[in-house]
Amino acid sequence: MNIKTIGVEAFLNKYEHEARIDIAQSTIASLTMGEILELDGQGGDSFYERLNRKKMNYGWIEGSPEFKQEVANLYESVDPDNVLQMNGGTGANLNAIMAIVEPGCHVIAEYPTYQPLYDLPAALGAEVDHWLIHEEDGWRPRLDELKRLVRPDTKLICINNASNPLGTVIETDAMEEIVEIARSVDAWVLCDEVFFPLEEPESCTSIVDLYDRGVCTNSLSKDYSVPAARCGWTVSNKELADRMRVLRDYTMISCGVFNDALATHVLRNRDRVIERNLKIIRANREIVNEWMDAEPRASWIAPRGVSVSYMRLDIPQDDEGFCLDLLHDTGVLLVPGSRFDLPCGARLGYCAPEDDLREGLSILSSYMHEKFD
């Protein structure tokens, strides 16, 4: 298999531990273990009371019944048996795409967005057409262009709701149109929902609540602030779940007892996590909006209810070189937009801890003006 390096992962793998101030990540400020234990209001007693009785073996291979039920509760009408625990959202996308894509099949993928959604099908031998997003439309793709791209032999449409790194949300009415286009040729729709909006969630609907041949992928890493758990999931119909069961035996076996217990604890107490994270999203977005108003060299389309964002940089230097200079000279980390095929900008992790965000933006402004003005 000839598979491309994931640009954002390669960049972060190499440089993130050099950073003094990290405003590049897409997670809503990660919870500490102490904060996680306090979610139950009992200092973690409910978590350890369950965990201490468990043997540290492989655990439930597909995820414990409690985990499956907590995930199923996130959707309108999902059979817990069709919920499969995966090693993060990355593993969920891998197994879902491998279960659907075959050499020579036709795939349409929203572009540019999270790279595995188009480069993994291509590596598996698919013919991949890009469904382009448009900055002038608020970084949204156009449904009439999807209609032109779809073919009788289209097997899969890959989308990202919300988009990484742009934060663009696909609302229910647009998602219903995507479903009708897919249904017209009996195509699958994979929707990566790790950034499913926390703000006005009623305006969006998961693909699995709209379409039998829809599969959603998600994890604890973004909306739930626990990327350390490395625990994600797929939700699909039984046909696809059974295919992925076979693949999981090759790619992961299980997520392990501790990760399953941790994920179940977080999901069981998700209302408290979401309440905390909405406050971070709203407060930090306002900080960035105020900074953007005063910073002529930066602009963004403010994200709605998600932790990931992209900003344009008006600078006479390529974004990769600038971000590396910024890191080496100041210790501030941003991901170059070119790592997402979005040059002339950067991914801004605006849901970083507030002090880091304020200091990072202040340093970024000073650095741009010292360097370019």
Each residue's pLDDT tens digit, 103-149: 999 999 999 999 999 999 999 999 999 999 999 999 999 999 999 99
Closest CA to 256 of 48, 55, 2, 28: 55
* Single-letter code of the amino acid located at 210: L
CATH number at residue 239: 3.40.640.10
Residue that terminates a domain, selected from 268, 291, 312: 268
Closest CA to 248 of 56, 102, 84: 84
Is 31 inside any structural domain? no
The residue-averaged pLDDT of 60-75 equals 97
Is 32 inside any structural domain? no
- Indicate if 110 and 220 belong to the same structural domain: yes
**Over 90: is that where the pLDDT of 51 sits?**
no
- Indicate if 278 and 368 belong to the same structural domain: yes
CA distance 356 to 350: 9
Instruction: Provide the percentage of residues in the chain whose pLDDT is more than 90.
Output: 95
**Over 90: is that where the pLDDT of 151 sits?**
yes
Residue 2 or residue 175, greater confidence: 175
CA distance 207 to 181: 13
Write down the pLDDT at residue 362.
98
- Indicate if 249 and 292 belong to the same structural domain: no
- Indicate if 209 and 282 belong to the same structural domain: no
Write down the pLDDT at residue 142.
97
Q: Tally the domains of the chain.
A: 2
CA distance 164 to 157: 17
Asked if residue 297 lies in contact with residue 314, where contact means CB atoms within 8 angstroms, the answer is yes
Quote the domain boundaries for residue 346. 7-26+272-372
Write down the pLDDT at residue 50.
81
Residue that terminates a domain, selected from 225, 244, 268: 268
CATH number at residue 309: 3.90.1150.10
The residue-averaged pLDDT of 286-304 equals 96
- Indicate if 167 and 212 belong to the same structural domain: yes
Is 243 inside any structural domain? yes
- Indicate if 101 and 170 belong to the same structural domain: yes
Closest CA to 27 of 263, 359, 347: 347
- Indicate if 211 and 333 belong to the same structural domain: no
- Indicate if 144 and 169 belong to the same structural domain: yes
Residue 279 or residue 46, greater confidence: 279
- Indicate if 58 and 19 belong to the same structural domain: no
pLDDT band, very low/low/confident/very high, at 43 (cuts 50, 70, 90): confident
Helix, strand, coil share of the chain (percent; to 5): 45, 15, 35
First CA to last CA across the chain, in angstroms?
A: 47
Asked if residue 97 lies in contact with residue 121, where contact means CB atoms within 8 angstroms, the answer is yes
Is 315 inside any structural domain? yes
CA distance 306 to 300: 14
Q: 214-219 and 332-333 as β-strands: parallel, antiparallel, unpaired?
A: unpaired
How many H-runs (helices) and E-runs (strands) does the chain carry?
Answer: 13, 14
**Over 90: is that where the pLDDT of 1 sits?**
no
pLDDT digits over 217-253, tens only?
999 999 999 999 999 999 999 999 999 999 999 999 9
Q: State the average pLDDT for the chain.
A: 96
Classified as helix, coil or strand, 65 is helix
Residue that terminates a domain, selected from 208, 238, 268: 268
Is 364 inside any structural domain? yes
